[in-house]
Amino acid sequence: MTLEKARALACVGVFCLAAALGDDARAAEVYPGCAQPGPTGKVWYLDPVNGKTPAAGGTGSQTAPWNSLTGVLSFKFPTGYTRPLLSSVPYFHVVDGKRVYVADQLGSPPVQPGDTIKLMSGNYGDIVIGDYLQQVVNPSFVTVEAAPGQTPVFLTLYIRSTNKWVFDGVKVQSLFGTNNNKQSLVTVGDQGAEHPTSDIILKNLQISTADSTDGWTQEQWVAQGRSGYREYGSPGDGTNGVPYTTCVAITGSHIHNVRIGAVLMGNNSILSHDEIDHFGDDGIDYAASNIAITHNSIHDNFDVGDGNHEDVAQGQNGPLLRGVPYNHFSKILIDSNLAIRQTDPKLAFPTYLQGIDAFDEEWTNVIVTNNVVVTSACWGIFYASVHNGKIINNTVLADGLLTLPGNCKPAVAVGDKTHQGPSSSDVIIRNNIANSLSIYNPDPNMTMDHNICLGINGRCQILTYVDGKPKWGVFKPGMHGDHNIIDGPGATRMFVNFDPAKFVYNLRLRSDARAIGAGNSEGAPPVDITGAPRGTPVDVGAYRYSPDK
């Protein structure tokens, strides 16, 4: 399949903050309230192949670049660097006859917060910012970016106990265990309340275990496959989640040939306009509050043989303080993501892929809109222990390429309780297209209306509760409940081109699709997955009907 290159989606809403800040500004997509880079200072150059140490004549200029990023940023600077060249980095040196960890006063070393470091092609090794119980505090953003036309490579990138960094255009790649390093390829974290991390912007990264993993066995994946991106925070109090890693954004990046794609366990975070593909465990894991997972392409997962059940985007337990029964996460936006289990005809070890879901913890103010999930699994979208939830205008379909367990079909569903949390309440399931619908509705404020249940073999599964007891129904075409349509003809009569056998999925609506104008405008997102205005009346599913497509 073509992942519908037309899916280069427009930024919509408060989560796209790219205000014009002037010619020298670095506008970035960050969570509302998080810091934006301002005007830049000096520009410095590094070249690991042709550069030199300061002692050998390197000045950091374009004509005399330095040779080590570690020498600029790290506590553990290499030979030829007597101290880190970035002024905000503490290091061991003698003060009053004693060796202590002290940051230089701003203005002493040449590189200052606010400056930009441009990287020439070459391997920079494992890059680490921060040290054990030591903080790097930047009053302005430090930008580390690929110079035009260059491909700098890090083996890993580890950022902790610091603030205000931009990494742009870097390739991060190495096998698990390289240099005895067993962390994720990119890691962002804190060391508790006294050593927090905030305002980290990661843009246009290429993150992978290897460029090609063709021919890898499952055993090789377990032994050598790295996970892609991991953002973690120290435990919160169960209400605020993980408050010591905040304001982290990873955007415009490609994460591929990895185990887990991305993990978000820091508050006020964004994962947006990224592509995650050829992954061996979950595509995305999340366990934090105030997060936005938007406009991503997730496709082609495979089984590495580790027994893990795999998900597009799964709500996880997250760090938990001792004595707290479970975390309560709030303000989750999952919008305009395109998730397709298999698009690569040559994919090794294809397996099922559950969709957007949460089976643990408690979730409040959850918005799941404009997503597409095409898979072989029971759950397309599923939440339990969810309150004030809106699951609106999504498209969830079976690809029919793998046998599903039992008699299940990919469903849009809200259940009762997670493994730890209380019963769900105040949830709307509206304007979705799916092969099955399910809602735990003993609470009077649970609504399931104006959905289309696409028949498989002419029938559709719907689960509701009557007198507190589950009532399954397998229904023939017609109307069910509150304007829910059971559509017998199925996906081939709904979409422009739905052909899983050829891995082709153009899920825009046909001109005769029953979804056109069949939705409820109340609570519907103002735009569709492409960013096009929905108009009135509202169409059902992730795409509005566009006659010119």
Amino acid at 466: V
279 pLDDT above the threshold of 50: yes
Residue percentage of the chain with pLDDT more than 90: 74
pLDDT digits (tens, 9 = 90+) for 43-55: 999 999 999 999 9
Across the chain, mean pLDDT equals: 90
pLDDT given at position 6: 33
8 neighbors 295 (Cβ within 8 angstroms): no
CA-closest candidate to residue 549, choices 527, 530, 535, 526: 530
pLDDT digits (tens, 9 = 90+) for 150-176: 999 999 999 999 999 999 999 999 999
213 pLDDT above the threshold of 90: yes
pLDDT digits (tens, 9 = 90+) for 6-41: 333 333 332 332 222 233 334 579 999 999 999 889
Contacts of 476 (CB under 8 A, 6+ apart): 458, 459, 486, 488
Q: What is the DSSP letter of 361?
A: S
527 pLDDT above the threshold of 90: yes
Q: How far apart are CA 343 and CA 324, in angstroms?
A: 42
Helix, strand, or coil here: 172?
Answer: strand
pLDDT digits (tens, 9 = 90+) for 106-151: 678 999 999 999 999 999 999 999 888 888 999 999 999 999 999 9
Helix, strand, or coil here: 132?
Answer: coil
336 pLDDT above the threshold of 80: yes
User: 104 vs 472, which has greater pLDDT?
Assistant: 472
As to burial, measured by CB atoms within 10 angstroms (0-12 exposed, 13-18 middle, 19+ buried), residue 543 is buried
Query: Hey, where are the domains in the chain?
Result: 1-40+119-351, 379-549
What band does 77 get if pLDDT is binned at 50, 70 and 90? confident
Q: Where are the beta strands (DSSP E) in 185-236?
A: 186-189, 197-203, 206-208, 229-231
pLDDT digits (tens, 9 = 90+) for 311-322: 999 999 988 887
Residue percentage of the chain with pLDDT more than 70: 92
Map 429-497 to HEC letters.
EECCEECEEEECCCCCCEEEECCEEECECCEEEEEEEECCEEEEEEECCEEECECEEEECCCHHHCEEE
pLDDT given at position 360: 95
Q: Which CATH number fits domain 1-40+119-351: 3.30.1120, 2.20.28, 2.60.40, 2.160.20?
A: 2.160.20
Q: Which residues pair with 482 in a beta bridge?
A: 449
User: Hey, what long-range contacts does 78-82 have (CB within 8 A, 24 or more apart)?
Assistant: 78/53, 79/53, 80/53, 80/54, 80/55, 80/56, 81/53, 81/54, 82/54, 82/55
Average pLDDT over residues 174-193: 94
pLDDT digits (tens, 9 = 90+) for 341-393: 999 999 999 999 999 999 999 999 999 999 999 999 999 999 999 999 999 99
pLDDT given at position 242: 55
430 pLDDT above the threshold of 50: yes
200 neighbors 251 (Cβ within 8 angstroms): no
73 pLDDT above the threshold of 80: yes
pLDDT given at position 27: 55
238 pLDDT above the threshold of 80: no
454 neighbors 397 (Cβ within 8 angstroms): yes
